[in-house]
Structure 1
């Protein structure tokens, strides 16, 4: 049983990391891409937003499809499109072309990102689901740890275009993993029930019922605002640390990796803390600490503190808290929706990534080369999330 659990965690971690790898790997190359394409930084940052937008929009389709036909076929389709989009990005000759091709790549990436959550719900509930989610995230951590460093090295010794060829190879590896190591977790009976009962109208009714579930929405947006704060960091950090604070791309990769370590490290305590204190208490406490730290960072920034070490240190502590918030809210949101796990996971992902894309647009719109817009967006997400967590979430049972 332990070997099966570990295999599932590794496979799901690899598949869920492919999309984030496509994000993190090219962040250190933003300034180089802008110079090579003759565009400003904002135009290149829009390629990040287009990727998020594609993932957000297409999850709404992948989820119900995976409930009807099984989890694996949509993953095959998505990874194939991801490979095609990556190859296309390597030939981009303008920022506009890169934005469009990243959108295509995002359509492909979102399949494995949304369906892996549904697979976890197929296999487990409660603290076992949280344990699998945390173990999956431990494997997933290879993305924020290695991707920026790999991207900076490829940019330094070859070209930023090689990054997208590397991503295409990663997508090909993901196809092999899905084909040979991923079990089909959607049972034949469940698929037949979905095929027999769900036309477009029924799917729409399922989405509408989820949108009326305030507990579900509260959990989705608490986790989504936590994710959005990290997206704000993705949008602004490379330029802030490389251009504003003068770090090399390799040094920035190390800064990025340490903040990712804080997030992944926090996630590993999830299952234990959920059993000991209850999942919602963990969420409320962690998001409160996150909001306090990020608000303090905003106050310091407004007061004129402009120091890379301060920024890094405060975000290190804050992102450690997100490691407790994001997995817990995902498990709690899907707990009561096992029969529609793909659909519920898709709606959750769509709402969360639309929130993240909105935050990215705001960071880009107000970006002035300093940390201000990034820090303000992160603090705003924290304050909104903590308000939701204490007003919309009601105390429920602790996991046994």
Structure 2
């Protein structure tokens, strides 16, 4: 009996060991098939990206006058297959600053200096509160220079040229959405409100909404575009008025039945007295608000703001606005610029992250986000165009060795 049990135990150990070997073999096979599938989908982008940076480093450190030895194709394939895909090698970090101007220019099929000048120009004339101080602006310049791999001399030259250009034609897009809890201005306890919009730099250039009859909670949902000359200094002013139609004394007397309360009666008597003595009918201010443009994010903002009135301690109501920035630029040019900008930023982010590209978390750094946001805002790119450019760069055309022809 003992011998039988012992033999049975040995058989179980043997089969367990055999089973574990099979599982290990299947696991390796699944991982291998998974890696092959990834390479088929991305065109070998991740392996080629690391190989490209390594080759550039070796070429830059080779002695002058010596041609680099041609790399065997089989060796390249072995390197790709043997890449763990976790962390880029030390040679990929490029400790010494190498001249990559030609590499990037050829890779993008685009005039790098022209695109660089355009982004410098947008940073100089930044809109919103994304980078309101000189230190923040300087950080954006440094990040941009590192991304484009330009030396100080070229950067300073292009920056000076950008400073000499005229300021861009920026538009402030304002949607007056609605108001609530407005103070009544008419004898019937209601108001006939409308809004007036203007910039502090152009007080005479005013925009008016329609008049909403007999309400303290009007809804407008009306849009306006105001040209802005200096976004960092200008202020948006919005006033809410009660419309007072041209009426005779007789017509006002006919409203006696609509009066609500003693305060309403007092208002009506005052209107009748003014009309009888002067014949004028002036609109009455409900309240106003002022919004410095430098406090508005470049991506835009939807918010409620309080209406104030001089001499009144309490607020006179709330007004809901939606504010965005835009400019007039050829949409195709702007779309192409945004694609190339995303591509360059992506290369720089991957290089700094020191991880395999497919392990990148998909989030740009704050400086990159600010630059991309300023470009789409100042170029007037639609959300659809922005999403399409990201999709093209991240999904349809993974970067292959950093090379993409413009016609593609």
TM-score normalised per structure 2: 0.19
Give the number of the structure whose residues are more often strand, by fraction.
2
Q: Structure with the greater relative contact order (CA < 8 A, sep ≥ 6): 1 or 2?
A: 1
TM-score normalised per structure 1: 0.19
